[in-house]
Amino acid sequence: MRTDMLQQILLELNGATADIEASALISTDGLMMASALPQGMDEDRVGAMSAASLSLGDRATRELARGTLQRVLLQGDRGYVIMSAAGPEAVLTVLAKPNAKLGLIFLDMKRAAESLAKLI
């Protein structure tokens, strides 16, 4: 039941804008909790990379005195990978198109992360 609710929030996030191609909720140790990923995308790889990237981002912001980590943003020539905490034990990861409107995605992610954190 709870997994279905997590899945529904991710599907709603994906549908919020055409710029979001996929999303996933991952535990901070890299285990997939729920996902709305394209068929053929390796959930284990997404989970491991998200957890590692968020951990590194968190350490970098602390070590460089930048305050509390808000999000990790990776930009490639084929789009973005955006990661944000969803409570203290999970990471919300979104894959977005290269021409995405990031401000809207950040807002949608914040709302989704708050909803997801309440269910974890």
Instruction: Give residue 1's pLDDT.
Output: 61
User: Any idea how long the chain is?
Assistant: 120
Q: What confidence category does residue 97 fall into, taking pLDDT thresholds of 50, 70 and 90?
A: very high
Mean pLDDT of 5-10: 93
> What is the number of domains present in the chain?
1
| Dihedral over Cα of 110, 52, 30, 34: its sign | positive
Phi, then psi, of 72 in degrees rounded to 5? -115, 130
Q: Which residues pair with 92 in a beta bridge?
A: 25, 84
Report which of residues 8 and 29 the model is more confident about.
8
In one-letter notation, the amino acid at residue 33 is M
- Are 32 and 46 spatial neighbours (Cβ–Cβ below 8 Å)? yes
| Predicted model pTM | 0.90
Helix, strand, coil share (%) of the chain residues, nearest 5: 45, 25, 30
Q: Is the pLDDT of residue 104 over 90?
A: yes
CATH number at residue 95: 3.30.450.30
Q: Which residues span the domain enclosing 35? A: 2-119
pLDDT tens by residue, 32-88? 999 999 888 999 999 999 988 988 998 999 999 999 888 999 999 999 999 998 988
